[in-house]
Structure 1
């Protein structure tokens, strides 16, 4: 009977994996565009929920509708980011921004580290939820990066800063909502002398920061090596290694303050302050040629006319309306985006409460416990649109240029809509598949339980993989932590190791999972009009993802057995 139970559990886990397998086969292996692969994945999840998990039809419909609402939110963010980019292009500000980076260095490796790793970490700390890609990817394309290269860079850095993104939301909301209310967790906190949930989250956050520091320091090296390997004329990763001193300098310029802030202030500010401090230090040092490539040795892409067709999207981002604008004025829109995001995300300021007061809520869809809740003013898309409108007046743009910017943005967003309108509902059906008459746990839990029962005390090696899988499917480190933090804690207690390290490994894996999340890749690609090449990006970001979760898992195993 026990053997039958194990077989049944393993078979259920295999079935739960099928929506992800469909994505892997059709999107990654067969190179289908997401607009064709994601409807198949959605259909697979729906059929499993109805036939195997025996979830009521109304619950599947409610989950799908909830997913559509989230997809519309993502499309709004994408539209805002594209609109801002097109406004900058039509105004001529983009050409001045490009020149400001060329003045630092024309070396694309250095530019990728500064924009992707440092500026991206700061924006992640301020807003999270894919905003760094929406800001950084089009900025790199505007500088002359192939769109496919920019998306790869933008997705690869969606790792180390993510656990503390959006002012600590993955820890403060994701982990907290999973652990708070559990008597086992509260008893454990008391047993180790932790007197409050906030103190417990602070302790977990510091462990997360230490794991990220030990693994994430290599991410800038991955960025430059992958850039030269896949997009260089010689296709040689060693060209990336040529700037290893700068890459490590940039890594530690962010990571050292990042860890210090996690220890001193808690989980709200490590990425925000780490990214800001690192960006300031590295730009200051770069202007003084510290650790920079020698003049004449800078690395660049081939001429655009020699790029393969697959590298370029439908959006043209060459220099237009090249006007002699001041650097400060050209950068002002991005500075406004950063400032508004920070001001509206800090709970110490009154703006967050005001923006959150405007709520569109549809409770208990079709009589289920699934609801839709949107806060339109709080969504980063609103910040992008607001700053775009402000930029029209800042740059005194003429009506034809404004209409061109809006028209181009609308055309681009239409091409991204099909993939997202199926990808996100698939995720929601997958996550909300519990409560069916079959009595099974939701699909992700069925998968995680089968693995934990099979590996025993080796679980720390697999814990980051579960976090990564959760984020890759759910599209958010926060959602992954919400699903699995208590599960990871319980497994830690079950196998006799420190359960807080298990929660930390969950959060680290959940951050890394953003690198391979389908709808994040779709969103980043859509910003630069690169639709249909999502599988190619995921095949490449799988490399740093596997590095991240393997190294974190091995490190976790060593730590809990010390």
Structure 2
């Protein structure tokens, strides 16, 4: 690969970073310019045929519409609960557990996000938890940043094990169930050391950047509870991965963690002496509900229905999943190319969100004015998100579909990964997670990152005499970390908390935790495991 070809392969990454993070352009402008730059260099240097790029754009638009559907569902559900008064009741309920925002971050931000990731994936955790945290009084920027950071360790087992079973399973030809389970156990074992500290990282970001005193010390005051919250997920998840397999570690680990931390908060175990909160001006003005107006269980019922439906529709041994997946719409051989796309319309979490929002109208006895306001507000908020996704997802598809070209090259991501493996061979375990993160950052999916790079990680491990299971585990962890800065996830999460145009700022907050997660796991493997 020549220097010009290297620059071409890096165009999507550099364009997004410079325009979005450095120049701080809104995603609607930054992603449109990145799409033009990527398409131009792909045609001129990588020599990707025009019809394939056009097909990739059309494929990207179909995928973008599925993401918009998820975002719309999350927004309409939140607005429905806002107008019914349920959010105010939920906020009061959390205050009864603890008024300390640092502890709420561990319980809601870390563990509830992990549970939703295990149940659904597909960007659901940030889309649900970020607006919930805003409604509970967190600043919007803090809510979306913390939700993205939290949606990391659990991603290995997201959507009932999809990144492992499908991502690694398809990325490694002939991968056995035993190998997939061994890789899962290795990944969560590394997480016990590295990811268990992420709740503390989240709390430190909260108090340093969003607290009234901009203090790290105030975050460190809850390090025992934060570490307890981290371990209360990773240790049970390791046990489930070891004895049951990769389908349920995130779900069961998060459930155990939610119970342990809630009981600890109520009983004062490892709790700080003084509660911490934001400056009054930073909190969202919310009217406290009349406790008699709605019981807490009814306020939570829509969220419980969401979780139940997501789990029931993702279990392979139940018929619901097959019924919903069978309704998928497929566009094969777009413009006569090998590019195809499938939209699993009924299987998407957005469908569950919208269904529950409709059910909530009756459950919470809403009048037609409340319903109309909730739905109109949701539709109005989608405009900038549609524009950003309509540019970013096609750019990603051109990048990923670039293996068909007249330059005799592999796809851009594979060429970059192979170059990295050659360049950093002497310390490959340290840098291997970055390949997984690159895949998620561009593709918007840990599953796709694992499918794309698992084979390369395995071949590099065998060539360098490294432990194959450890290297595949590092690939999974890197893909998890990439979720924190993934452009598609950031755009979607920003849109549900009205932060459209602030995507670059969000990535600046999540970049350091992403690098900590990657290099922490890589350093551990380099020194002790591989």
TM-score bucket of the superposed structures, by smaller chain:
over 0.9
Is contact 1:90–1:321 with CA below 8 Å preserved after alignment? no
Q: Quick one: which of 237, 248, 252 aligns to 1:273? A: 252
Question: Deviations for 1:24-56, whole angstroms, at most 9, x for unmatched residues?
Answer: 111101111111111111111111211111111
1:318 CA drift (Å): 3.7
CA RMSD after TM alignment:
1.5
Q: Quick one: which of 231, 234, 242 aligns to 2:213? A: 234
How many residues are paired up? 529
1:391-402 pair list within 5 angstroms: 391-402=360-371
C-alpha distance in 2 between matches for 1:31 and 1:298: 35
Q: Quick one: which of 439, 451, 457 aligns to 1:488? A: 457
2:427 corresponds to 1:471: no
1:183-202 pair list within 5 angstroms: 197-202=176-181
1:233 CA drift (Å): 1.1
1:319 CA drift (Å): 3.9
1:317-356 pair list within 5 angstroms: 318-319=286-287, 324-356=293-325
1:254 CA drift (Å): 0.9
The 1:417/1:266 distance shift into structure 2, 3 A limit, reads same
C-alpha distance in 2 between matches for 1:541 and 1:269: 27
2:385 corresponds to 1:385: no
C-alpha distance in 2 between matches for 1:113 and 1:452: 36
C-alpha distance in 1 between matches for 2:347 and 2:211: 40
1:172-183 pair list within 5 angstroms: 172-181=165-174
The 1:375/1:320 distance shift into structure 2, 3 A limit, reads farther
Is contact 2:305–2:356 with CA below 8 Å preserved after alignment? yes
2:430 corresponds to 1:461: yes
SS class of match (1:217): helix
Question: Deviations for 1:309-333, whole angstroms, at most 9, x for unmatched residues?
Answer: xxxxxxx884487672100011000
1:395-410 pair list within 5 angstroms: 395-410=364-379
SS class of match (2:208): helix
SS class of match (2:342): strand
C-alpha distance in 2 between matches for 1:337 and 1:322: 25
1:84-483 pair list within 5 angstroms: 84-181=77-174, 197-294=176-273, 297-304=274-281, 318-319=286-287, 324-483=293-452
SS class of match (1:361): strand
C-alpha distance in 2 between matches for 1:321 and 1:362: 49
C-alpha distance in 2 between matches for 1:56 and 1:322: 63
Is contact 2:187–2:476 with CA below 8 Å preserved after alignment? yes
SS class of match (1:515): coil
The 1:344/1:375 distance shift into structure 2, 3 A limit, reads same
Question: Deviations for 1:376-402, whole angstroms, at most 9, x for unmatched residues?
Answer: 110000000000000000011000000
TM-score (norm. length: structure 1): 0.92
1:558 CA drift (Å): 2.2
Question: Deviations for 1:408-431, whole angstroms, at most 9, x for unmatched residues?
Answer: 101111231111111111111111
1:180 CA drift (Å): 2.2
Which residue of structure 2 aligns with residue 532 of structure 1?
A: 501
SS class of match (2:406): coil
Structure 2: tracts of 5 or more residues without a match? none
Structure 1: tracts of 5 or more residues without a match? 1-7, 187-196, 308-315
C-alpha distance in 1 between matches for 2:3 and 2:232: 45
1:554 CA drift (Å): 1.1
Question: Deviations for 1:60-116, whole angstroms, at most 9, x for unmatched residues?
Answer: 011111111111111100000000100101001110000000111111111111111
C-alpha distance in 2 between matches for 1:317 and 1:431: 44
The 1:24/1:317 distance shift into structure 2, 3 A limit, reads farther
1:518 CA drift (Å): 1.2
C-alpha distance in 1 between matches for 2:330 and 2:394: 18
Is contact 1:228–1:235 with CA below 8 Å preserved after alignment? yes
2:42 corresponds to 1:73: no
1:285 CA drift (Å): 2.1
Is contact 2:8–2:38 with CA below 8 Å preserved after alignment? no
C-alpha distance in 2 between matches for 1:299 and 1:422: 41
Which residue of structure 1 aligns with residue 478 of structure 2?
A: 509
2:466 corresponds to 1:497: yes
Question: Deviations for 1:232-262, whole angstroms, at most 9, x for unmatched residues?
Answer: 1111111111111110111111111011001
Which residue of structure 2 aligns with residue 61 of structure 1?
A: 54
2:42 corresponds to 1:49: yes
